[in-house]
Amino acid sequence: MFNDRIRKLRNDKGLSQRELAKMLKISPSTIAMYELGKREPDIAMFQRLADFFNVPVEYVMGVSDEPKPWWEKDEEPTDIELEEFIKNNSNIKLMGDPLDEKAKDDVLMFLRAAHQMIKEKRKAEEEVGKE
């Protein structure tokens, strides 16, 4: 869970517990306790760890197995990722106005329709290219 994830992230960066603790301005014993699972970081510390390692908080917490959010990958988001992004971000605006829940649903519907049209267009272009 989170303890293994913190250890993996630290090791992947080639840092000792002491080095990580110094960078985060906490004691080395705190890092050791996190990695042993004897102490759990609070939300603010999970966020600091995520920021430090440049991964989503959910990844540090062990809730997600994706170290990069979908918008940083070279692949399309799943329907669930896109919907969660739009529904869970309260600061999304369209033409300067914040989106209410109905507007978010409309945006999702538009994006799905546009994506389907683009896929169909690309498929048609590929078929023309094969002839």
- Domain residues of the chain, as ranges? 2-61, 72-130
The total of other beta-carbon atoms located within 10 Å of residue 44's CB is 8
* Residues in contact with 78: Cβ distance below 8 Å, sequence separation at least 6, in sequence order: 70
Per the CATH hierarchy, to which homologous superfamily does domain 2-61 belong? Answer: lambda repressor-like DNA-binding domains (1.10.260.40)
pLDDT for 78-127, tens place per residue?
777 778 778 877 778 888 888 888 988 888 888 888 888 988 998 888 88
Between the alpha carbon of residue 62 and those of residues 57, 98, 116, the distances in Å are 9, 31, 33
Its pTM surpasses 0.95: no
- The DSSP code for 93 is E
Angstrom distance (rounded) from CA 34 to CA 46: 11
pLDDT at residue number 116: 87
**How far is residue 11's CA from residue 16's CA, in Å, rounded to a whole number?**
7
Q: Tens digits of per-residue pLDDT, 4-57?
A: 999 999 999 999 999 999 999 999 999 999 999 999 999 999 999 999 998 888
Amino acid 81: pLDDT:
74
Average pLDDT (60-85) is 76
Rounded Cα distance, 40 and 59, in Å:
15
Query: What's the pLDDT score for residue 107?
Result: 86
According to DSSP, the residues that pair with 97 across neighbouring strands are 94
Closest C-alpha among 48, 45, 47, 49 to residue 13: 49
Q: What is the pLDDT of residue 90?
A: 72
